[in-house]
Chains A and B, each alone.
Chain A
Amino acid sequence: MTSLASAPTTAGATLDVAKIRADFPILSRTVRDGKPLVYLDSGATSQRPRQVLDAERAFLETSNAAVHRGAHALSEEATDAYESARARIAGFIGAGEGEVVFTKNATEALNLVAYGMSNALTSDDPKAARFRVGPGDEVVVTEMEHHANLVPWQEFCRRTGATLRWFGVNRDGRLDLDPSVITERTKIVAFTHQSNVLGTVTPVEQIVAMARAVGAYTVLDACQSVPHAPIDVHALGVDFAAFSGHKMLGPSGIGVLYGRRELLEALPPFLTGGSMIELVRMEGSTYAAPPARFEAGVPMTSQAVGLGAAVDYLSALGMENVHAHENVLTAAALEGLQGIDGVTIIGPRNTESRGGAVSFEIDGVHPHDASQVLDDSGIAVRVGHHCAWPLHRAFGVQSSIRASFYVYNTLDEVAALIDGVRRAQDFFARDGVSL
């Protein structure tokens, strides 16, 4: 074991991790012939505490009904539960009333913005004209985007005739904010708050200032930031932001789009149908005010309630404490991994402006093979390109191993990761043959 193993389990003492772990039933299970689960894949999806599971179950056992329909007692209770969750989630990110839209996930939220904007080209609502984009206009993304905040903009450009441009990534895993990328032609700047691969936290204020200077809208992928640090969307100044429930102790099947109220009021709908209308005639329809305009069909309800409970759980821990705890784990992982010969960190090598996703390569051991050895020790990490294929290309690697941390992880688990990486090296170097 490394020296880290002897460090106290409660990293930095900002969180009572033993108490937190007791809230997560899954963390006490074993895998692969009795090995304790070491779950280091919260960047892909987080585990859920009893409080979230209980909230969903209690809702379904007492108040389940289709929301915003009917006038019976359950319908009213369900609608209250749904809207209460929305209000708490809005409060959690500093958003105002009517600025939080529920979607099925962050990917849908980002597509909602992209399709809403391209629908402006055919909308007869004069308010939508501000979103019109066409040939000669440009959309700016970054090379470190998750596919969810890249492919929708590629498709947006294909539909509208706009040109896609991007900020590159330097060897340290930071954005190269070449000022020539954003020009008078730039209409949209879509970028991540925190890279799901590198852990890099991007300079949101700086990018927002560059975008505002040319009148471009900003769209923030906040999937890896909202779960891990205090976020105030108004203070960040972005126009839109998206995140998903399942990465922040909440259920899958629910994501959130934040949009500045003024913009949501002007944005044409993406999906149409029930619930999102104002008036429907055979000849045509008018649409409800946001957020209902963007929530066609019977929405996910127990998931919203569950996400509300997740936000309550995180708020009780305190997001400053969550962030500080992960910072300690990240520092230990970076130090431990860099202490192993043949291991290369992909991304910033210290914790400055950096979150708790640590990706790395092991010389001579393919990530898939390394993860198999880690898995054999009960350690769950992500391998592959993590839905950020262009970023991997930029680093000249085909795939990588990613450990990602959350409120329930411990320094002992970081130590287990370091040991596991050594074991993977040994396993594939067995018989003295180096691969």
Chain B
Amino acid sequence: MKLETMYQEIILDHYKNPHGHGLREPFEAEVHHVNPTCGDEVTVRVHLEGSGADAKVVDLSYDALGCSISQAATSVAYDLIVGRTVGEAFDVLAAYQEMVQGRGKVEPDEDVLDDAVAFAGVAAYPARVKCALLGWLAFKDAVAQADDNAPELEGQP
């Protein structure tokens, strides 16, 4: 059944027990993103070491209010981003974005996406894509605010 394809156990697990939840210090930038169609919101802080693509994401902390998809996606983002370089994190984000916006036509690369591959089912529901991207795009925006030398994300305006 399609519904269970989207609401995989791993998503519900992250929703019930979000990883890395809460706002922490230190941080270089904090952003607040909302999904104006439903009112979901997320506040994301990033703490970087260094600059540019090689900067290390030391912490990503967040406070979120929203549906299971947006909450779980932000929790998975935390797992996949912290400890990586900004360049690596943006590669994951680009692959993730391509998958969830791909209307089910994009074969996800599990090596790159790891747990985030669980969100492949969201692609079948265009109305939920924004939910799946809320925390991730807030992270990207926070990096851009924290670091003038932040790399461009592929495929982004």
Contacts and interface: CB of A to CB of B under 8 A. Distances in A.
A195 B89 CA distance: 45
Interface string B124-135: 010010010000
A383 B3 contact: no
A225 B26 CA distance: 53
A299 interface: no
Given A384-B37, A385-B39, A372 B125 contact: yes
Contacts of A372: 3, 6-7, 125, 128
A398 B42 CA distance: 12
Interface in A372-410: 372-373, 376, 383-385, 389, 392, 398-399
Nearest to B4: A427
B14 to A, nearest CB: 12
B3 A384 contact: no
B125 A399 contact: no
Contact of A368 (B1, B16, B41, B128): B128
A366 B3 contact: no
Contacts of B131: 368
A369 B37 contact: no
Interface in B17-59: 37-41
B22 to A, nearest CB: 19
A398 B2 CA distance: 27
A368 B3 contact: no
Contacts of A389: 39
Nearest to A393: B39
A7 B40 CA distance: 38
B15 interface: yes
Interface in B51-75: 65-69
A376 B16 contact: no
Interface centre among B12, B16, B41, B69 (most CB of A within 10 A): B12
A431 B104 CA distance: 28
Contact of A399 (B2, B16, B39, B68): B39
A424 to B, nearest CB: 10
Contacts of A385: 38-39
Contacts of A399: 38-40
Contact of B38 (A376, A384, A433, A435): A384
A124 interface: no
Contacts of A384: 37-39
B132 to A, nearest CB: 11
A131 to B, nearest CB: 32
Given A368-B69, A369-B67, A369-B68, A398 B7 contact: no
B39 A398 contact: yes
A32 interface: yes
A32 B2 contact: yes
A178 interface: no
B68 A366 contact: yes
A389 B39 CA distance: 8
A433 B16 contact: yes
A304 to B, nearest CB: 30
Nearest to A423: B3
11 contacts: A366-B68, A367-B38, A369-B67, A372-B6, A372-B7, A372-B125, A373-B3, A384-B39, A385-B38, A398-B40, A435-B12
Interface of A: 32-33, 366-369, 372-373, 376, 383-385, 389, 392, 398-399, 427-428, 433, 435
Q: Closest 10 A-B residue pairs measured CB to CB? A: A368-B67, A366-B67, A384-B38, A376-B3, A385-B39, A399-B39, A398-B39, A369-B68, A369-B67, A399-B38
Given A366-B67, A399-B39, A435-B15, 10 more contacts: A367-B67, A368-B38, A368-B128, A369-B67, A369-B68, A376-B3, A392-B39, A399-B40, A428-B12, A435-B12
